[in-house]
Amino acid sequence: MSNTQEIKRRRTFAIISHPDAGKTTLTEKFLLFGGAIQTAGAVKSNKIKKSATSDFMEIERQRGISVSTSVMSFEYNDLLINLLDTPGHKDFAEDTYRTLTAVDSVILVIDCVKGVEEQTEKLMSVCRMRDTPVIVFINKMDREGQNPFDLLDEVEQKLNIKVHPLSWPIGIGSRFKGVYSLYHKELHLFRGGLTTVTDEVITISNLNDPQLDREVDESYAVQLREDAELIQGVYGELQLKDYLGGSVAPVFFGSAVNNFGVKELLDTFCEIAPEPGQRETDHGTVTPTDRDFSGFVFKIHANLDPRHRDRIAFLRVCSGKFERNKYFHHVRLDKDVRFSTPATFMASSRNIVDEAYPGDVIGLYDTGTFKIGDTLSEGKNFYFTGIPSFSPEIFKELVNNDPMKTKQLEKGIQQLTDEGVAQLFTHSFGNRKIIGTVGELQFEVIQYRLLHEYGAAASFKPLPVFKACWMTAEDKAALEQFVRLKAANVATDKDGHYVYLAESNWMLNTMMENNPKIQFHFNSEFKKRKIQPAH
């Protein structure tokens, strides 16, 4: 099969949602249809009864939440699908933001009872910035939820995107009878029993067919006809280019936990979702059909298998062909590297691969040479843009509770912050380690993983820091003078760049006004412009 054919059969997407909307459950139903797993884990009441396939960290199994992006590949309908299941919890939003740089489209899951929630809005805003194609799955239709038309209005208003229903529910909650596929002209009947639910498909191309009345009762049939007529009048026919351009989101209804409406969603996704697309670099645009290989690291995970203490860098292939044991250029380190055991993943299980194509996500065994945002290429020097770290919101000092395990603590915090779950800053006074995160839960995860994966007991002491800003200056003397005068509020990041730790918004604004020769950066994208570190 040629490179072009391989690219055309790839679909790479992420599933995003607010916590508890049903994202992980939907992920597992997709894997069931793809034959990748035989049984799905049930996530209910925030407690995992069977471990979710995509939640492979022990703390995830205990808490019943996803705190790390899982990468899974499976085949369905002659396509190779790369699915990235992202954290729903807001404290791990940065991991999700970076994951969205590695996909070509998104499926957004919304709880029909709760509607659009705060975290959903934040995640969607990232998709809107990139014009990422989005499909909406409104979940839990077997529960007493909101009116479908009200939900569509809420999605449009809060998420700043036009919607286009491709399926429509018949009833809701205890009166839920199924969905009608407006796209495929099929009736999907919800036959719920005490223990099983079936998705019975009946082809009804004309809603005036009397069979509809017999299948769902006349009153429901009448309502469906009225709703379908209204939908046709308001939304018309779906223009595929509008979806692919990110301006219109197709909408589906169903119940992931009951595996209802999921196949319709997956089948339609396979029909309309985009193939691997182009990516921007600091030296122009890279397209999938470019001959030379290129890709970027968007995620690093230490101890995927705690028994082997491994470290995996997840790389999105953007152009050319990746080949096992072939030398590629590590742009940041300016050296050639090769990989003897590149892998694809089904959550925590892995398979060695000999080659990978644009759209694929592969895991590279790493000895500490990769950082998030690193580029591999076939000899050319450029960086993929738009994969920054952001200024953290909460800052705490790392406290070593067991001086006998200092080396383990140092190694652990270095590796865990390499993953991007938090940022590490070092204060010159006493070599103090300061951890910055976007949420409190990250500190709990770091503390847990330090103890269970590295045997290092640690705690955290809150610090009165409002924001961390990277600093650069053309006038090196001005920067050095600022660092000397404000030493109590200056640290360095893991790359040796100076960081100003502002105690308040007022103080930050004052420093920016009083030091016009210094540039204060609120994300790490500036590093791609070859700015030299402080030392």
Mean pLDDT of the chain: 84
CATH label of the domain that carries residue 479:
3.30.70.3280
**Burial degree of 410 (CB within 10 A; 0-12, 13-18, 19+):** middle
In a domain, 205, yes or no: no
Query: Is pLDDT at 194 greater than 50 in this prediction?
Result: no
Predicted structure pTM score: 0.78
Q: How far is residue 185's CA from residue 351's CA, in Å, rounded to a whole number?
A: 39
Lowest-pLDDT range of 68-72, 158-162, 236-240: 68-72
Are residues 419 and 315 located together in one domain of the fold?
Answer: no
pLDDT > 70: what percent of the chain? 84
Structural domain that includes position 259:
3-172+236-272
Picking from 328, 351, 377, the residue at the C-terminal end of a domain is 377
Query: Is pLDDT at 14 greater than 80 in this prediction?
Result: yes
Are residues 23 and 113 located together in one domain of the fold?
Answer: yes
Mean pLDDT of 491-501: 91
Q: What is the pLDDT at residue 43? A: 32
Give 57-84 pLDDT, tens digit per residue. Answer: 555 555 444 434 467 888 899 999 999 8
Are residues 9 and 143 located together in one domain of the fold?
Answer: yes
Are residues 326 and 443 located together in one domain of the fold?
Answer: no
Lowest-pLDDT range of 361-365, 391-395, 483-487: 391-395
For residues 284 and 72, which has the higher predicted lDDT (pLDDT)? 284
How many structural domains are present in the chain? Answer: 3
Which DSSP helix (H) or strand (E) runs through 6? helix 3-8
Q: What is the pLDDT at residue 68? A: 43
CATH label of the domain that carries residue 102:
3.40.50.300
The phi and psi torsions of 386 (rounded to 5 degrees) equal 80, 30
Q: What is the pLDDT at residue 46? A: 33
Kindly provide the b/e burial profile for residues 179-194, where b requires at least 16 CB atoms within 10 angstroms of the residue's own CB: bbbbbbebbbbbebee
Q: What is the pLDDT at residue 105? A: 96
Are residues 495 and 360 located together in one domain of the fold?
Answer: no
Are residues 292 and 439 located together in one domain of the fold?
Answer: no
The winner for highest mean pLDDT among 13-27, 41-55, 104-118 is: 104-118
Q: How far is residue 13's CA from residue 2's CA, in Å, rounded to a whole number?
A: 23
SS3 call for 87: coil
Mean pLDDT of 51-59: 48
Are residues 303 and 258 located together in one domain of the fold?
Answer: no
Picking from 325, 342, 377, the residue at the C-terminal end of a domain is 377
In a domain, 216, yes or no: no
In a domain, 188, yes or no: no
SS3 string of 13-69?
A: EEEEECCCCCHHHHHHHHHHHCCCCCCCCCEECCEECCCCCCCCCHHHHHHCCCCCC
pLDDT band at 192 (very low <50, low <70, confident <90, very high): low
Q: What is the pLDDT at residue 193? A: 52
pLDDT band at 223 (very low <50, low <70, confident <90, very high): very high
What are the strands, taking DSSP E only, across 304-422? Answer: 311-319, 322-323, 328-330, 335-337, 343-346, 349-352, 355-356, 361-365, 375-377, 394-400
Q: How far is residue 80's CA from residue 73's CA, in Å, rounded to a whole number?
A: 7
Query: Is pLDDT at 308 greater than 90 in this prediction?
Result: no
Query: Is pLDDT at 164 greater than 90 in this prediction?
Result: yes
Are residues 367 and 404 located together in one domain of the fold?
Answer: no
Q: What is the pLDDT at residue 459? A: 95
Question: Are 301 and 68 in contact, with CB atoms under 8 Å apart?
Answer: yes
Name the token pair of 55. 């939640």
Query: Is pLDDT at 307 greater than 70 in this prediction?
Result: no
Q: How far from 512 is each of 301, 352, 390, 420, 508, CA to CA, in Å? A: 36, 50, 18, 27, 6
